[in-house]
Structure 1
């Protein structure tokens, strides 16, 4: 799938921002009420700590904070459209993006949510790029934001130790396909036949229309870890190869690989299959956990701010999430000032 655009209608990265809640939750904190330990969590996930939003803080709140940083990073406070990738919207309806746009002063901008769980940001890249290519927007604010702790069962060791809260955002502007920051072709895919591997069973029309009351655990997030691992490694690898082929890149051309921060073992397995050395794989999962749709833009913001991403670096992005959904894309990192809090 093309990123779209020719002439001056190609999506180009112009700004990036990342926001994390201030509350740090360590593995030892979780071990105080779960049958687990710091060693167990690190050995299986690579996570040492994560951030939790304070009570009363919503996904929209985090999205506004990250979006404001991305707009500041871009040097302009305006955007024609706001796309919010999230699996944890403030309400079942309406979408959260219009409220985020209003709070950022983007009155009248097109605004909508994208629901592809952990692959949401990559789906959002394709969507935002399409708005620019079609001439619908000249500048798009794309945000990945999650308060995943609001849907995770705090008593479920298999998920409670992995997922966390945070937000990251980018600004895409209309530009040329040959300039730094230009988004490469995006590969996307899905497999609805395996939707039950990652899901929240209750609360939707399927459960409500059945006439049956939801069970006590049905409003919580469920994940079949072993099966998800296998699908994630296979799909991330194949999608990454497709995105590289569409861009005309070889694996040796990649300076930095930015995978969705699902699990350190998944990232390592995909890098190994692709033939990427560990020093080219960016990660922040040890400090922030799995922030779902927020993980890639948050990692881009942090790596841009601390120097792990430098102008001219050729970057491969890839994500896998519920649906099942997956996607990958490429870009050459531009000379921008990344902002994080």
Structure 2
């Protein structure tokens, strides 16, 4: 018998520093009108010295408080990130240390922008194996140091931030049920969205200067096509597997990559605009943190009330993608 898993608490954190489209007009050949019409983004939060584990720790503390739990109850920490503090030690252990705990299993998971829902699926497995498990998911990104601020096609898109969740087998008073999930990937598209510099395929030696490979590079047009197709397909198949219809979905919470992708997925699924949650205008694309931030903020805003069924979907470099259904 499969053990059910519930999200007991949510949290998110973004840096205080806000970079608006007007700010970007001063450093790169772009305009507020150009950015807004193509992405829907008005501003993004950019770290000024805070690292991935700093943002992640703050989101984790919020999620634990929301769950009514203490850090020393945590048995597993999963940090979903593609912008870790360092290659090693992993970022999850640094979050663990900053929470003032030790001993629990802690590791990083890199599925790029799909990291949060991939982590939820892994957490379900841990809970199924051990019903006493308390899994802390922290999706945190500081992508600004890996952003080429001279490339107007990418620098306008990304922001820094973190989202967190606590997953257990115990529903508690207000636990959110994870009802179903579908996760996929396809490496043939990997070259369309990359940060290559420093990896074993693109090594460097002492004294080398960094080049464009060390920063986010993206073929936006092709990424758009595969993202919309993959997320739409995953959502449709998950809805069918769950013996539901689109009408049973109260709110769609997609990865906040850009507004055009969000609108296209909603339209292809037949979900009206008013039932699609967006906050990309405020935070930009925060990669793995995107869906976690949306969930925590949506719940705080009252969008995700008890009884709400939410469909999550995401897409990231790799390519990775998936969909997941939550019952609030």
User: TM-score range, shorter-chain basis?
Assistant: over 0.9
Q: 252, 267, 270: which one pairs with 2:247?
A: 252
After superposition, the C-alpha distances for 1:80-119 in whole angstroms (9 at most, x for unaligned) are: 1110100100001221101111221331111111101001
Q: Is this contact kept in 2: 1:11–1:175, CA < 8 A?
A: yes
1:73 is aligned to 2:66: yes
Q: Please state how far the C-alpha of 1:180 moved relative to its aligned partner.
A: 5.5
Q: Is this contact kept in 1: 2:8–2:175, CA < 8 A?
A: no
User: Aligned runs of 1:39-188 on 2, under 5 Å?
Assistant: 39-54=33-48, 56-77=49-70, 78-135=73-130, 138-175=133-170, 181-188=176-183
Q: Secondary structure at the match of 2:95?
A: helix
The number of residues matched between the two structures is 324
Q: Please state how far the C-alpha of 1:215 moved relative to its aligned partner.
A: 5.6
Residue aligning to 1:311 = 306
Q: Please state how far the C-alpha of 1:122 moved relative to its aligned partner.
A: 1.1
After superposition, the C-alpha distances for 1:231-280 in whole angstroms (9 at most, x for unaligned) are: 00000101111221232221100001000000101010000000000011
Structure 1 CA distance for aligned equivalents of residues 230 and 19 of structure 2: 31
Q: Secondary structure at the match of 1:195?
A: helix
Structure 1's consecutive aligned runs of 4 or more residues displaced over 4 angstroms after TM superposition are none
TM-score (norm 2): 0.95
Q: Is this contact kept in 2: 1:170–1:297, CA < 8 A?
A: yes
After superposition, the C-alpha distances for 1:279-315 in whole angstroms (9 at most, x for unaligned) are: 1100100011110000101011111111111111000
Q: Please state how far the C-alpha of 1:136 moved relative to its aligned partner.
A: 7.2
Q: CA RMSD in A?
A: 1.8
Structure 1 alignment gaps of length 5 or more:
334-341
Structure 2 CA distance for aligned equivalents of residues 205 and 166 of structure 1: 27
Q: Please state how far the C-alpha of 1:208 moved relative to its aligned partner.
A: 1.9
Q: Is this contact kept in 1: 2:182–2:324, CA < 8 A?
A: yes
Over 3 Å counting, the alpha-carbon distance change for 1:231 and 1:207 in structure 2 is same
Q: Is this contact kept in 1: 2:131–2:169, CA < 8 A?
A: no
1:207 is aligned to 2:210: no
1:238 is aligned to 2:233: yes
Over 3 Å counting, the alpha-carbon distance change for 1:210 and 1:235 in structure 2 is farther
Structure 1 CA distance for aligned equivalents of residues 297 and 103 of structure 2: 31
Q: Is this contact kept in 2: 1:81–1:137, CA < 8 A?
A: no
Q: Secondary structure at the match of 1:330?
A: strand
TM-score (norm 1): 0.91
1:12 is aligned to 2:10: no
Q: Is this contact kept in 2: 1:81–1:140, CA < 8 A?
A: yes
Q: 35, 60, 75: which one pairs with 2:29?
A: 35
Q: Secondary structure at the match of 1:292?
A: coil
Residue aligning to 1:338 = none
Q: Is this contact kept in 2: 1:86–1:120, CA < 8 A?
A: yes
